[in-house]
Amino acid sequence: ALDEATEPWGIKVERVEIKDVRLPVQLQRAMAAEAEAAREARAKVIAAEGEQKASRALRDASNVMAGSSSALQLRYLQTLNTISAEKNSTIVFPLPIDILRHLLKPKED
């Protein structure tokens, strides 16, 4: 279209540079909203991928602990150690069922 206007004058346009573009405010807002939505979508995808990796790691750890009662007991002790290190006024001390059974068993004299 530019060549059609300049060709009768013997002018050949090789390059056109745009120095300033002024978009209407409404279009600027729409573009900003679209960019924000795209950023939020990417953030949600990244968060979902992180949760998926974490759940896989927890599943794998659960499988390892299910196969080894000693691993489960070590994890239990580690958790108690972590809880006791915090400055809490109340600590709930859960006991495993096997320990409770031993304590509730009638004494044989």
pLDDT in tens, 13-71: 888 899 999 999 999 999 999 999 999 999 999 999 999 999 999 999 888 888 887 88
Q: Domain of 71? A: 2-104
Q: Is residue 109 part of a domain?
A: no
Number of domains the chain contains? 1
Per-residue buried b or exposed e for 78-98, using 16+ beta carbons within 10 Å of the residue's own CB: eeeeeeeeeeeeeeeeeeeee
Query: Which tens digits make up the pLDDT trace of 59-95?
Result: 998 888 888 878 878 888 888 888 878 777 777 777 7
Q: Is residue 30 part of a domain?
A: yes
The pTM for the full model equals: 0.50
Q: Is residue 36 part of a domain?
A: yes
